[in-house]
A = this chain, B = another copy of it.
């Protein structure tokens, strides 16, 4: 049930079995360093492991100054702690007795935080930490624009924070003010306006809580698409970017105007595929829906000017021939996934390559960590 690794260290890229999830190590390492440069002395960085699902990568991020990791699921947090991460925030609500108990148990082995947006969640967490003899940091999630989870900023956040403070096994840690959808607003002006409104709501809520003696050590949020604006605005003191290490087609399609900081991050993640059939009008690669998530658009064809990936079925991808150079049967094609996070979730292994040679193989232990 764990798939065989498609590569061996020392192989050339041409020998890797396909489809394979490639990490261009030069680009990846440059992305790690760039995030450290852009944030050092300005804001705490708690990268999102929902992108990579790997404690190996988490430890690289921590070595570059990250204070810990965030993730979305309890089983992702367990995989991170088992891999050596000592500080994990589940930046999400955890609902369900078994999940809450696993989270409380994990909190005996590492510093663990979690978000809430309802009193019932607070009560379930309190009961579980009492049972396990542990304690949790709790952030109140406020809805600053995503219209998904979170209580309203202001009074509702205050009331929920007070409820957290009543429980002795829970430490009120501050606010979660993540505005995921803002990152995918194409227009940089609109994106900045949205982030500014969100920062205002978060800032006002911090002040309100402060008046009631509730100190927000952490105001968390922001991702790859918004962190630069958020740092300037100053409402968030702990950013949670994920995609910056890999990047993807969706980020590439955001408008270049306004040159957002994230355009300095390089594409480091690829799906390596093989041409398995050719005809005069197109070629077919072996990477389809089971090798690439298409929720945010079809993949781009890397380094082959004029070639387009025009259709995905379960196990096939149709690509048009590149200008002036048709694809050959057996030829390798690097594809750029439309959306990195759910694409990573389809693989068991990263194959790290540098100048055409396999240099590192990293398992993806939180692949499929849905719980």
Contact = CB atoms under 8 A, between A and B. Distances in A.
Interface of A: 1-4, 6, 15, 17-19, 50, 72-73, 75, 92-96, 98-99, 117-118, 120-121, 148-150, 180, 274-278, 284, 286-287, 289-291, 293-295, 312-316, 318, 329-330, 339, 341-342, 345-348, 363-365, 367-371
Nearest to A242: B314
Contacts of A120: 329-330
A50 B314 contact: yes
A112 to B, nearest CB: 17
Given A95-B329, A295-B294, A342 B148 contact: no
Given A274-B96, A315-B92, A348 B371 contact: no
Nearest to A332: B96
B149 A277 contact: yes
Given A117-B277, A118-B277, A316-B148, A348 B95 contact: no
A214 to B, nearest CB: 22
B2 A99 contact: no
B118 A4 contact: no
8 contacts: A3-B369, A3-B370, A18-B371, A72-B315, A150-B277, A289-B293, A290-B368, A314-B342
Nearest to A273: B370
A3 B117 contact: no
A17 to B, nearest CB: 5
B295 A289 contact: yes
Given A1-B2, A278-B118, A371-B18, A148 B313 contact: yes
Chain B CB count within 10 A is highest, among A99, A293, A314, A367, for: A314
A335 B17 CA distance: 35
A150 B282 CA distance: 12
Given A72-B314, A277-B149, A3 B368 contact: yes
A95 B371 contact: no
